[in-house]
Amino acid sequence: MTVKTRFAPSPTGELHLGNARIAVLNWLYAQHSGGRFVLRIEDTDVDRNLPGSEDEIIESLRRLGVDWEEGPDVGGEAGPYRQSERASLYREYADKLLKGGAAFHCYCQPDELEAKKEAAIARGARAVYDGACRHLTPDQEAGHREAGIVPAIRFTVPAEQVVVNDVIRGTIVFDPEEFGDFVIMKSDGLPTYNFAVVVDDCGMAITHVIRGVGHLANTPRQVMLYHALDVEPPTFVHVPHVLSPDGSGLSKRHGARSLREYLDEGYHPDALVNYLSLLSWSSPSGDEVLPPERLIEEIDLARLGASDVRMDPDKLEWLSGEYIRRMNPEALAERLAEHLDPESYPDRDDQRLRIARAIQERITAFGGAARFLPQFYPPDPMSWTPEALEVLQGPDASRTLAAVHKALESLGDWNADEIIAAIRAAGAEAGVKGKKLFMPVRAAVSGSTQGPELGDIFEIQGRDTCLRVIEQARAKAN
């Protein structure tokens, strides 16, 4: 049997990392098993749909490197892949259940149901549907219809216990009395979540349902529906919640950033996939930097943990830095172009490559390169940070810069080694060395007291700019 997994987001906003992790796990597991991965948009809760979020979800997943064999944008034989386009299928399945006696029409009105619920609560009884319409006679039904009542359809919950088998949580047994006959099709003709999911997962031949533990409470209802439809339930895998670093829920309200925000900032996509996947399991090798190929090879549902995990933004940042350091500089230069302002990132490939090499060890997200660009392409007139100005105003700074200026003016080859050697020689003549020599030089040319290798800054700036900036710095120096 071909393994088939799915990610089934509701288009109600941007993906947060908790959701993205579900997509990643399903995607990895499908590939690990040589199976297929489906993207399905669960948009039947019309009031909660947010225009644009389907496109946003698709774009973010693609930027992450996640792709699918079937989905609303790529089609597939089990489509359509938007629940809103599957109405006839839900009706077909509901009819099947009605015909087989596993479902019935319910004419109860919301106010009646509400009153019964309150009465049940007041009695200390379970507030579940009391089965009022379960055994209506054809005449009673006709009467309701004549009165203009459009019925909902409820599932007839069998009296037996419901057994849910979950890969992480083992066997969980539910008491049928907990449920009451639940609605599968509302009177407006739309399916409820539990019904739509089962119809879709059956129709799409999903073999593994990997989703958040928040859905575990729904699973027994879904299992009952599978039995009624005479279909073997899929393998369920309910993964724990991802919490924010302080242990609260991962939500926008708690400052959790969306997947798109991380991507926009330039976190390496493979680092995000790596991080999200390792929130749930670990490699037996103990390695933490696991590119997608290794994740695909090693992912093992049996290694998924059961307890909630806290998001660790520092670790994600560290991983992103690791991936950036492992890139070849050509690829990095290309990536930087997507994240840097075209006004300040050069056009020429050789210059881009130099920049990429100069900052590769220093950034943890592609966008982080922006802060170094003014050091390579200093403004005219030059500006300095307060710390840099303080260095320039230290003793001997002016004299040192004058000596360096002179040495660089007449230097033959403009390359990092020659430049640094010339600065050293000029310092020796002026009687300064080490930090006393290089700090004022760095402050002068880069405008900052920290940054990439000085040799890289000099090379990328070029001689004319360096000399101009040193000249301008001397005017500020003591």
Which residue matches tokens 């560290």? Answer: 318
Shortest separation between residue 26's beta carbon and ligand GLU, angstroms: 9
392: closest CA among 380, 382, 377? Answer: 382
Q: Among 4, 5, 10, 221, which residue interacts with ligand GLU (rule: CB under 6 A)?
A: 10
Does position 57 interact with ligand GLU (CB under 6 A)? The reply is no
Question: 10 vs 33, which CB is nearer to ligand GLU?
Answer: 10
Q: Among 36, 86, 144, 215, which residue interacts with ligand GLU (rule: CB under 6 A)?
A: 215
72: closest CA among 207, 222, 204, 263? Answer: 204
| CB 228, CB 93: distance < 8 Å | no
Does position 9 interact with ligand GLU (CB under 6 A)? The reply is yes
Q: Residues 252, 315, 406, 476: which is the catalytic one?
A: 252
Of 8-16, 28-36, 113-121, 234-242, the segment contacting ligand GLU by CB under 6 A is 8-16
Shortest separation between residue 197's beta carbon and ligand GLU, angstroms: 5
Question: 211 vs 221, which CB is nearer to ligand GLU?
Answer: 211
Question: 8 vs 168, which CB is nearer to ligand GLU?
Answer: 8
Question: Three-state SS for 130?
Answer: coil
Shortest separation between residue 25's beta carbon and ligand GLU, angstroms: 12
Q: Among 8, 224, 272, 444, which residue interacts with ligand GLU (rule: CB under 6 A)?
A: 8
C-alpha span between 173 and 193 (Å, rounded): 21
Of 2-10, 61-69, 320-328, 463-471, the segment contacting ligand GLU by CB under 6 A is 2-10
* Cα separations in angstroms, 431 against 153, 384, 399, 434, 455: 92, 25, 10, 11, 21
Question: 6 vs 335, which CB is nearer to ligand GLU?
Answer: 6
**Bridge partners, residue 236, by sequence:** 166, 209
Site residues (CB under 6 A) for ligand GLU, limited to 324-363: none
C-alpha span between 476 and 392 (Å, rounded): 7
Strand stretches in 128-266, DSSP E: 152-155, 162-166, 170-174, 183-185, 208-212, 235-239, 242-243
Other CB atoms within a 10 A radius of the CB of residue 146 amount to 8
448: closest CA among 357, 387, 373? Answer: 387
* Cα separations in angstroms, 103 against 100, 181, 190, 332, 364: 8, 9, 16, 59, 56
Shortest separation between residue 215's beta carbon and ligand GLU, angstroms: 5
Question: 234 vs 440, which CB is nearer to ligand GLU?
Answer: 234
Shortest separation between residue 8's beta carbon and ligand GLU, angstroms: 4
Other CB atoms within a 10 A radius of the CB of residue 106 amount to 23
Question: 9 vs 346, which CB is nearer to ligand GLU?
Answer: 9
Shortest separation between residue 302's beta carbon and ligand GLU, angstroms: 21
Q: How many Å separate Cα 280 from the centre of its chain?
A: 14
DSSP class of residue 156 equals: -
* Cα separations in angstroms, 302 against 1, 20, 169, 319: 19, 20, 11, 24
Shortest separation between residue 256's beta carbon and ligand GLU, angstroms: 16
Does position 211 interact with ligand GLU (CB under 6 A)? The reply is yes
Question: 8 vs 28, which CB is nearer to ligand GLU?
Answer: 8
Tokens of 274: 């790596």
Site residues (CB under 6 A) for ligand GLU, limited to 29-48: 42
288: closest CA among 242, 321, 328? Answer: 321
Is position 476 annotated as part of the catalytic site? no
Shortest separation between residue 103's beta carbon and ligand GLU, angstroms: 20
C-alpha span between 140 and 162 (Å, rounded): 32
* Cα separations in angstroms, 457 against 52, 419, 443: 43, 11, 11
Of 4-12, 71-79, 307-315, 441-449, the segment contacting ligand GLU by CB under 6 A is 4-12
Question: 197 vs 466, which CB is nearer to ligand GLU?
Answer: 197
Q: Among 197, 391, 392, 426, which residue interacts with ligand GLU (rule: CB under 6 A)?
A: 197
Side-by-side strand order, sheet with 170-174: 36-39, 4-7, 208-212, 235-239, 162-166, 170-174
Question: 208 vs 211, which CB is nearer to ligand GLU?
Answer: 211
Shortest separation between residue 7's beta carbon and ligand GLU, angstroms: 8
| Size of the residue set binding ligand GLU (CB under 6 A) | 7
Of 3-11, 28-36, 69-77, 287-295, the segment contacting ligand GLU by CB under 6 A is 3-11
Under the rule (CB under 6 A), what is the footprint of ligand GLU? 8-10, 42, 197, 211, 215
The set of catalytic residues is: 252
